[in-house]
Amino acid sequence: MSIEEFAEFLVTNIAKDTDLIKVKRFDTDTGVILEILISESDMPRVIGKQGKVANSIKSLIQAKAYNDNIKKIKVNIDSF
């Protein structure tokens, strides 16, 4: 399972509008940027109180990246 599929799996199980979830990967010189786009209505569910759910998602993605030998990864969660 790729890092994009893993991120999509995590967010799909939290969000309600699963058809609107998009995960994009950008490889840069400094590392990998993973952009997760969700609907505006799902933003409170994915962020959680005081950002705890979002921080947990980012931690799990960073752990997966470590297992996949991705040295540096940045995770952006945004709505459209």
**Domain 3-79 classification at class level:** alpha beta
Backbone angles phi, psi at 74, to 5 degrees: -120, 130
- Whole-model pTM: value is 0.91
Q: Tell me, what's the pLDDT at 37? A: 97
Q: Where are the alpha helices (DSSP H) in the chain?
A: 3-12, 43-47, 52-67
pLDDT of residue 80: 84
Q: How far is CA 45 from CA 13, 25, 35, 49, in A?
A: 11, 23, 17, 9
Give, for all 80 residues of the chain, the pLDDT tens digit.
999 999 999 999 999 999 999 999 999 999 999 999 999 999 999 999 999 999 999 999 999 999 999 999 999 999 98
Strand-pairing partners, residue 73, are 32
